[in-house]
Amino acid sequence: YYAGDFLKDDYSKIYAVSDTNAFVTIDTATGAITPIKTITPPGDTVSGLAGANGFFYGISGTQIFTLDTEGNLNVIATTTATLGIDLAYVPDNGLLYTVDLQSDHLFSINPNTGESVDIGALGFNANYAQGMDYDEVNKVLYWAAYGGGGDGQLRAIDMTTGASVLVGTFSGDNETDCLSIAAYAGGGGGGGTGGAVPWLTETPEEGLVDGLGTFEIEIEFNVNDIEQPGDYFAELRFTNDTPYELPAIPVTMHVVRPLNWGNIKANIYALEQCDIAPAPADKAGVNFYQNGKLVGSTETDEDGYFSYALKHGTYDVEILKAGYITQMVNGVVVGWDEDVVLDDINLRLDAPCLIVDPDSVFQDQFPDRITEQTLTFINTGAKETVFEITENDMGGPTPFMRFNPFADNLIQDPGFEAYTPNPYWDEYSSNYGTTLCTVDDCGTGTGSGPHTGQVWSWFGGVNPGDTENGSVSQDVAFPNGTATMKFWVEQAVCGDSGASNYLALQIDGTELWRTDGTDPACGTASYRQIEVDVSAFADGNTHQVKFASTTVGSGNFFLDDVELIAEGGGGGGTGGDIPWLEIDIMADVVMPDGGQVEVTLTFDSTGLTTGDYFGELQVTNAPDPRITIPVQLRIWDFYRIFTPFTVTRYPHPSK
């Protein structure tokens, strides 16, 4: 049996069609088979059957048909699904759904108009027998999927996108069809293409209309299970055995708020970590309690708004959303025929927010002295956090202001904006004297000019047959630790000399990066950023950073915005504990909502010579990113107390 389903709320038997087109019922308790009729489908066999309101929809090949309980068959539509297997009927929207084995897509079919829509990919490679049914109670389209090799599984399908997700795997002989779910919602529906409407009942739901006669249907509206005032909408849809389609009849039930009721309304916002950036909290749950008993629930819409009607009285309102701190608004008084608008409610993310004050530490003192400073760890978030401090010795002493290891960029004039003659870069061009250009002086050729600012370095640009050698370089003091070169390169025209046209990065004559006329980036009139690890030169010494190029004829390379980003100390360093620093608390818990922990830093210059000493404190508070706190100790000569001008000659590098 490849096709079968329950009919309405009769779960005692499944109606099914065999591979020989025998229409039967199967007793769900005993498995006994009762023949009804041998049918003649429009295709060879019936590959899907879906129970509707008193009859079935079926699929055979690309044809959709109706089938009554006596075996009478009527073709009503054609689907564009080339190999539809099984069928599910969704009374909520009056549509049929099928799985197309050819495309592995979900298709919908309107049984009234015949319109067939490819909804989207299922995300599963389906083969052989399949099963489908719609859970009318829980509003889920289920699929008994099979691909081959014993991979049968139950999946749930999103009817708006076609995407499916795994619910669970089947055991044993797991190629499953005739999936039938005992979940008939009942009510409404007319001829079976309408939705199950709990507040609407039609009596009778089917009948025979004599020629030129009339047939009355009694419509009953019932508010017993309606919790909220407002307008409720539905449609009565009909099927009939004539060639003419009956229009749907719109139905509206207006439920009036009683005079002794009122509404509680509010806008709910969700905050990001550290209580910033409020955004509407959609689908936040809202519960209403009276005398400790839950009396109503709703959820916010996509704009974070809710409005809920309650009988006059005093209520406690609970707002909750996964991952956020639950909020309570107690003692909300609802009067007769009154709208109570609460102040905007902000839901705090259930996460800590650790702040370290100050974010860098500088201490200056004479030799053989001991001083103290305080680091304050503050948690302004809604959840406690644990921090742990790790020291990193970055070396010293170094001469005052030899370099600043905490500077963002160690390259001076990274965008060449000082132009030419440049006080920071050494310039060379065998044809032009300098590679530095502005649009006014050089034009842009077929490129885009500078990446930022007004100046860039243009390597090449000579006449066909000519050779151009060019370079820019500067000496840079590297710290100990790690270092990265970052720069922007454009090569819209690389010329026809292949690898002979090149631009290279060199440090102390060692080539670390190169592009040439064979690079796939050739021909692109836009910049790309290059990153090169130059940590091998981060040794506390001064090195020459140089960009050198050779071009023949029409080759061109543009360079701009050069950076040298370093993380390192002043003159060696062990990378371990800082020898001149003591920390009294290395780890602790900081309580939420403004909790604080004070950590004392003790600087000991005993036995140290003059100069700058560097270190950093790495603060971990998982799962948040690590916090780095630069620490610098400056040891002065005693005579400097008499020369206050040195404060301006040697400013604090960490400031």
Question: What are the boundaries of each domain within the chain?
Answer: 3-169, 200-255, 261-347, 354-394+572-649, 426-569
In whole angstroms, how far apart are CA 181 and each of 23, 134, 191, 390?
Answer: 20, 7, 21, 59
Same fold, 354-394+572-649 and 426-569: no
Alpha-carbon dihedral sign for residues 226, 227, 233, 238: negative
Which span out of 67-76, 303-312, 438-447 was modeled with the highest average pLDDT?
303-312
Which residue bears the tokens 């001076």?
412
3-state helix vs strand vs coil in the chain, percent to 5: 5, 50, 45
**What amino acid occupies position 317?**
V
Q: How much is the pLDDT for 44?
A: 84
**What amino acid occupies position 292?**
G
Mean pLDDT for all residues in the chain: 88
**The two three-digit tokens of residue 639, written as one number:** 């005579």
The fourth-level CATH superfamily of domain 261-347 is: Immunoglobulins (2.60.40.10)
Q: How much is the pLDDT for 649?
A: 35
More confident site: 432 or 645? 432
Beta-bridge partners for 22: 38
Kindly report, residue by residue over 78-99, the tens digit of the pLDDT: 888 888 888 999 988 889 999 9
Q: Nearest-CA neighbor of 249 among 194, 197, 316, 320?
A: 194
Mean pLDDT for 192-213 is: 79
Q: Nearest-CA neighbor of 311 among 269, 260, 352, 243?
A: 260
Dihedral angle over CA of 584, 586, 589, 595, nearest 10? 50
In whole angstroms, how far apart are CA 57 and each of 68, 77, 130, 273, 301?
Answer: 9, 11, 16, 52, 36
Kindly report, residue by residue over 517-576, the tens digit of the pLDDT: 999 999 898 999 999 999 999 887 889 999 999 998 778 999 999 999 876 544 455 668
Confidence of residue 188 (pLDDT cuts 50, 70, 90): very low
Kindly report, residue by residue over 154-170, the tens digit of the pLDDT: 899 999 999 998 888 88
Sequential DSSP letters for 440-462: HHH--TTS---SSSSEEEEEE-P
Contacts of 598 (CB under 8 A, 6+ apart): 374, 375, 376, 377
* Confidence check: pLDDT of 218 > 80: yes
What count of Cα atoms within 13 Å lies in the side-chain half-sphere of residue 424? Answer: 14
* Confidence check: pLDDT of 403 > 60: no
CATH architecture entry for 426-569: Sandwich (2.60)
Whether the full predicted model's pTM is greater than 0.85, yes or no, is no
More confident site: 649 or 149? 149
Kindly report, residue by residue over 587-627, the tens digit of the pLDDT: 999 999 999 999 999 999 999 998 889 999 999 999 999 99
Q: Which one is the CATH code of 3-169: 2.40.30.170, 3.40.50.1980, 2.120.10.30, 3.30.365.10?
A: 2.120.10.30
CATH number for the domain running over 354-394+572-649: 2.60.40.10
Q: Nearest-CA neighbor of 456 among 435, 475, 473?
A: 435
Q: Nearest-CA neighbor of 364 among 406, 408, 400?
A: 400
